Amino acid sequence: MRYVFLTVDVHQQQNSVAAYNSNNGYLQRIRIVSDDESRQSGDQNECSKCEDLQQQMQGLQARLQEMERLAHHDVLTGLPNRRYFIKSLENRVARCLRYGDNSALLFLDVNNLKKINDNHGHGAGDLALSHLGQLLSTHVRQSDFVARIGGDEFGILLDNLDGDEVERKISILLDRISKSEIQYQETALSLRVAIGYCFVGPRDTVTELLSRADAAMYAKKDAGT
């Protein structure tokens, strides 16, 4: 396409010139962009690029936060998972060694989860676990720590309680769980659990603590309490 430029009509059409298009024989007007307009347009493009980049960064940050949450929380119950629980237990051991802080480790196992799954399906079992997680979170202090550490196992860390206080807390939890019903479709489900515990010592390892609490829980389960 070829243009032959003619006169500039600055009064009638500002910032434009008349040009003859030799290809089609028509007179066409071509807009001329000033330096100020060019700079303004460039600034607007840069601002748009900055806004796009900021939105992308915010999106990435949100995804990273969600990935971090999923790495430390159980998807079904929303509670901290085993990895997070182990870190919190390690922290209790360190505080016990340094400051003499007192903490108890509770192990809770759902005795009849398999029966619920077999009789009513895994949807019922998932609902029961989610319900139990909420119930446990509701009946401990804000400073305590509740996690789902296995398929039907939950761990609880109680701070600054003596033996009698821990026993009372376990009795309360057992009472609340036994009286709680879960409505699944047209069936009312109930849970039976066993809870064992041990105290955190300054020289304990996480493996030793988990083993002791697990053994205490199975002792309660075998005793039917």
pLDDT band at 55 (very low <50, low <70, confident <90, very high): confident
Cβ neighbours of residue 134 under 8 Å, at least 6 residues apart?
77
Q: Per-residue pLDDT for 225 more than 70?
A: no
Q: Is the pTM of this model over 0.85?
A: no
Cβ neighbours of residue 199 under 8 Å, at least 6 residues apart?
102, 103, 104, 105, 163
pLDDT tens profile 168-190: 999 999 999 999 999 999 999 99
pLDDT tens profile 99-151: 999 999 999 999 999 999 999 999 999 999 999 999 999 999 999 999 999 99
Cβ neighbours of residue 52 under 8 Å, at least 6 residues apart?
none
Question: What is the structure's pLDDT at 154?
Answer: 98
Catalytic residue (one of 152, 164, 214, 222): 152
Burial degree of 60 (CB within 10 A; 0-12, 13-18, 19+): exposed
- Using CA atoms, how far apart are residues 179 and 186, in angstroms rounded to an integer? 18
Question: Which range (57-61, 142-146, 163-167, 199-203) has the least confidence?
Answer: 57-61
What domains lie within the chain, and their CATH numbers?
A: 82-223 (3.30.70.270)
Whether 175 is catalytic is: no
Question: What is the structure's pLDDT at 66?
Answer: 66
